[in-house]
Chains A and B, each alone.
Chain A
Amino acid sequence: MNWTANDLHIILVGTLCALACALPGTFLLLRRMSMMGDAISHAVLPGLAIAFLISGSRASWWMFFGAAIAGVLTALFTQWITRFGKVERGAAMGIVFTTLFAIGLILIKQSADHVDLDPACVLYGALEYTPLDLVTLFETAEHLIQVPRAALVIAATLLFNILIIALFFKEFTLASFDPSLAKTQGFRPMLMHYLLMTMVAVTTVASFEAVGSIIVIAMLIVPPATAFLLTRRLPILIATSLIVAVLSALLGHLSSQALPHLLGLPETTSSGMMATATGVLFLLAWVFGPEGLMRQNSGELKKPEHLIDLDEPKALEKH
């Protein structure tokens, strides 16, 4: 394949996005709320649609707010249905996100005449087109350094996520592992919960335009899960999941360009293949990892059910 600046830009956007997602994803995983990432990334659709109808443009702060609000509302409604209706959390989440997604679909269809926002673009994004929208960073006599505009947006989100997690690292950790203790220590686990949900929503919105929600869901869930199979220490867990995320973005783009040609097919979307690449890396960790299938079968390890799991976080739903 021909290596061009375009590929570099696509990989840059994909990598930044993978990093931005894997950070909050780690804490979602620890709280056993990975599916919340899926729910929120579907449920931001009505927020986007309404913000779009109000503001009339695609790249605006309105979209950001609309989606962030929709994301937090998903978490809030799920919590309410779980608490007041005494419904199991998975079912409550399913009801909330399908309803919101349906409302979003209808809003978009209704305004389809004068809107160039379609549900497909929310799902797939347009990673291939990000290099078309470039911003100049530096300009010197010999060099012109340009990056895709999407890269700047996602980089800002990544910084936001790093900042929040660095600031509240202790609180997040405690609230994930022992919400009761966090509460008695005055750490407000529910506040941490909603902060995390906001982070997920904001990351989803920042990424959806460039890479689509498929990649967001995959990067939120799979790299942390892969890292979870490789280590039991939180700092290493975070570092590993970031590495897995970056590797997936790289491998995903490469395979999207190279792999289909081996089968005699045209190249395919990078975002789909990046999601697939996370799956391949997970599979490797699952089979060959320190607690993987190979070692389980060779009798070196007992079945994981018998392992005493000190990292085991408590379910949040009791609060």
Chain B
Amino acid sequence: MDLEILRETLLLEQHNTRIVVISVALLGGTAGLIGSFLLLRKQSLLGDALSHATLPGIGIAFALMSAMGLSGKSLPGLLTGATITGLIGVLLVLAIRRSTRLKDDAAMGIVLSVFFGLGVAILNMVQKIPGQSSAGLDSFIYGSTASMVWSDFCLIIVTLLVTSVMTILILKELTLLCFDPDFASVDGWPTLRLDVILMGLVTAVTVVGLQAVGLILIIAFLITPPTAARFWTDDLKKLLWISTMIGAVSGWLGASISALYSNLPAGAIIVISASFIFLVSMIFGRARGVLPRYLRHLKLQKKVGRQHLLRSTFEILENTQSEAPLKNIPISMELLRKHRYWSKGELPRLIRQARAEDHIERQPSGELRLSESGFGEASRITRNHRLWEMYLIKHADIAPSHVDRDADMVEHLLGAEIVHQLEAELELAKSDIKSPHAI
């Protein structure tokens, strides 16, 4: 029975919750979109200062509207107040940063704590004004979807749609602002005005989200989806899409679950849905996730180890034979061990790996011998190493005695194309190259 209702809520078939779920999902999507720019601009926590700075505005608006004989709790009025003090807060952060030695975090912390303290003091005062019920103002702090009515949703949805459209219209300018603000200003773009517009967009999303999510947690909507999306892609367009999707999905999930269990705070459930997606993204995200990065690292390590082993074997073959065509004779483990520095247990592991790849065979005598394919591979790897060394000696003025390590840092990443370029550059087309330094 519970499951049935859950399914209906998630699929928006429940009449009562449909509008809540839609508007919170839309909120999440829009916040994900705009939050991406905030993240790229490295200003994520500015949203936190902003959302706390809205509280005095809510209190003042309530007091003013009550004094004028209107209903103190009209949402447009409260949100106007919130927008005004929120913007003042953000501008103060920018001003403190520009005119003092204080850094970002201090500027944000000052605005956040002082405005919030002031807001609490004002709310506390206005709640004691006789004749006006101010119950429900607290929902701006912790968030509650229960107290919202139809006109509230219309206001939220229209604001969010306008904000998203504006963001998409100035996508190019915002991108430039995030990636190269100096270039943007040199190129004649009004970066300060763009920054203010970005803050305006952030303010719009924050303010309409206050009631649903609460001012402490709304920041999660701005930070978590883009940060999670960042693990999946390095491409801005995809980042914006993924971040929007993650924001919308966490809003949709969170609003649905909290609609079912009315004693669960909506904002908290939404935040936890988003954090869960973040955790999954951080571990599995294709572009920058921890696990894929670790696997790529292991793969590279394996490749580097294989190249070290094969090159060492080849160099030993060269050292032990004086006449030209190089014969592929077995060599002892001891020679290999002394040839270069191996970390503990590295050599046996590499040999096992090379035997599995059919590059090296173990003779009955216990000596090691390159297989036919291994010999070819070893000579190719050694040749690439020397090509790169000679390039460094010729063009980077590195002393022959020092070139080995420098070459070692890059050679593992050499592609076939670069090898051809090196050959052309150094006019070396013959198949074997002597080492430019003693081995």
Contact B128 A266 (CB under 8 A): yes
Q: Indicate the member of A90, A256, A282 with the most B CB atoms within 10 Å.
A: A90
Q: Which residues of B contact A267 (CB under 8 A)?
A: 125
Q: Which residues of B contact A286 (CB under 8 A)?
A: 96, 99-100
A177 within 8 A of B: no
Contact B267 A214 (CB under 8 A): no
Contact A88 B39 (CB under 8 A): yes
Q: Which residues of B contact A99 (CB under 8 A)?
A: 220, 271-272, 275
B230 within 8 A of A: yes
Instruction: Select one of A105, A218, A260, A266 contacting B113, CB under 8 A.
Output: A218
Contact B138 A98 (CB under 8 A): no
For the complex formed, measure the closest distance between the CB of B254 and the CB atoms of chain A, giving whole angstroms: 10
Chain B 110-124 per-residue mask, 1 if CB under 8 angstroms from chain A, else 0? 101111111111101
Between A and B, how many residue pairs show CB distances below 8 Å? 205
Q: Is the interface of A mostly helix, strand, loop or mixed?
A: helix
The CA-CA distance from A95 to B216 in the complex, in Å, is 12
B105 within 8 A of A: yes
Q: Which residues of A contact B110 (CB under 8 A)?
A: 221-222, 225, 279, 282
Q: Which residues of B contact A303 (CB under 8 A)?
A: 99
B42 within 8 A of A: yes
Contact B101 A291 (CB under 8 A): yes
B87 within 8 A of A: no
Chain A 261-286 per-residue mask, 1 if CB under 8 angstroms from chain B, else 0? 00001111101111110110010001
Q: Give the contact stretch, choosing among A5-13, A78-86, A144-152.
A: A78-86
A142 within 8 A of B: no
Contact B265 A105 (CB under 8 A): yes
A314 within 8 A of B: no
Contact A296 B99 (CB under 8 A): yes
Q: Which residues of A contact B109 (CB under 8 A)?
A: 34-35, 37-38, 217, 220-222, 225
Q: Which residues of B contact A29 (CB under 8 A)?
A: 106
B249 within 8 A of A: no
The CA-CA distance from A34 to B93 in the complex, in Å, is 14
Contact B120 A98 (CB under 8 A): no
Contact A98 B220 (CB under 8 A): yes
Q: Give the contact stretch, choosing among A51-59, A117-125, A179-187, A193-201.
A: A117-125
B227 within 8 A of A: yes
Q: Which residues of B contact A269 (CB under 8 A)?
A: 120-121, 124
Q: Which residues of A contact B108 (CB under 8 A)?
A: 34-35
The CA-CA distance from A37 to B48 in the complex, in Å, is 13
Q: Which residues of A contact B217 (CB under 8 A)?
A: 98, 101-102
Q: Which residue of B lies closest to A34 (CB)?
A: B109
Q: Which residue of A lies closest to B120 (CB)?
A: A272
Contact B275 A279 (CB under 8 A): no
For the complex formed, measure the closest distance between the CB of A158 and the CB atoms of chain B, giving whole angstroms: 20
Instruction: Select one of A81, A98, A266 contacting B282, CB under 8 A.
Output: A81
Instruction: Select one of A32, A42, A87, A106 contacting B268, CB under 8 A.
Output: A106
Interface size on A, residues (CB 8 A): 68
The CA-CA distance from A131 to B290 in the complex, in Å, is 52
Contact B128 A278 (CB under 8 A): no
For the complex formed, measure the closest distance between the CB of B109 and the CB atoms of chain A, giving whole angstroms: 4
Contact A98 B223 (CB under 8 A): yes
Chain A 98-128 per-residue mask, 1 if CB under 8 angstroms from chain B, else 0? 1101110110011010000001100110000
Contact A34 B106 (CB under 8 A): yes
The CA-CA distance from A175 to B172 in the complex, in Å, is 42
Q: Which residue of B lies closest to A264 (CB)?
A: B129
Q: Which residues of B contact A101 (CB under 8 A)?
A: 216-217, 268, 271
Contact B129 A85 (CB under 8 A): no
Instruction: Select one of A38, A98, A102 contacting B112, CB under 8 A.
Output: A38
Give the contacts of A293-312 with B (CB-CB under 8 A).
293, 296, 303-304, 307, 309
Instruction: Select one of B125, B220, B290 contacting A85, CB under 8 A.
Output: B290
The CA-CA distance from A307 to B282 in the complex, in Å, is 40
With A99-B271, A273-B121 already in contact, the answer to whether A279 and B114 are too (CB < 8 A) is: yes
Beyond the given A94-B48, A269-B120, please list 17 additional residue pairs across the A-B interface where CB-CB is below 8 A. Answer: A33-B105, A35-B105, A38-B48, A38-B112, A95-B227, A98-B220, A98-B224, A119-B142, A215-B117, A218-B113, A229-B101, A266-B125, A266-B129, A272-B124, A274-B117, A275-B118, A276-B117
Per CB-CB distance, the 10 closest pairs between chain A and chain B, nearest first, are A275-B117, A279-B114, A272-B121, A98-B220, A221-B109, A102-B268, A218-B113, A272-B120, A102-B271, A34-B109
Q: Please, could you name 11 A-B residue pairs with CB atoms under 8 Å apart, sorted by A? A: A35-B48, A87-B227, A102-B220, A106-B272, A217-B113, A225-B110, A265-B125, A265-B129, A272-B119, A278-B114, A293-B99
